[in-house]
A and B are shown apart, each in its own frame.
Chain A
Amino acid sequence: MIKKYGTGLLAIIIAVGAFAFTNPVNKKLGTKLFRYSAPGGSYSQPNVQDNGNWVLITGSANCPSNVNQRACEMDVDDSQLNPDNSLKSSFSISAQQYGSTGVFYVNGISSGTIHNKTF
Chain B
Amino acid sequence: MKHQISKTVSQVAKFLLILVFTYTGISKLSGHEQFAAQLSLQPHLAPISLFLSWLLPVAEVLTSLFILFDQTLLLGLLSGTFLMTAFTIYVADMLLYQSSLPCSCGGVIAQLTWKEHLIFNFFFMCLSWVALIDHFKQRTKRISTNTKEVS
Contact = CB atoms under 8 A, between A and B. Distances in A.
A38 interface: no
Interface of A: 4-5, 7-12, 14-16, 18-19, 22-23, 26, 49, 92-94, 107-111
Contacts, number: 71
A11 to B, nearest CB: 4
Contacts of B41: 94, 107-109
Contacts of A110: 102
A56 B102 CA distance: 22
Contact of A92 (B19, B69, B102, B108): B102
Interface in B1-30: 11, 14-16, 18-20, 22-23, 26-27, 30
Interface in B99-124: 100-102, 107-108
Chain B interface, DSSP helix/strand/loop, else mixed = helix
B30 A94 contact: no
A5 B108 CA distance: 27
27 contacts: A5-B69, A7-B11, A7-B15, A8-B14, A8-B67, A11-B15, A11-B18, A11-B19, A11-B22, A11-B64, A12-B19, A12-B68, A14-B19, A15-B19, A15-B20, A15-B22, A18-B107, A19-B26, A19-B27, A19-B30, A22-B107, A49-B100, A92-B102, A93-B100, A94-B101, A109-B41, A111-B34
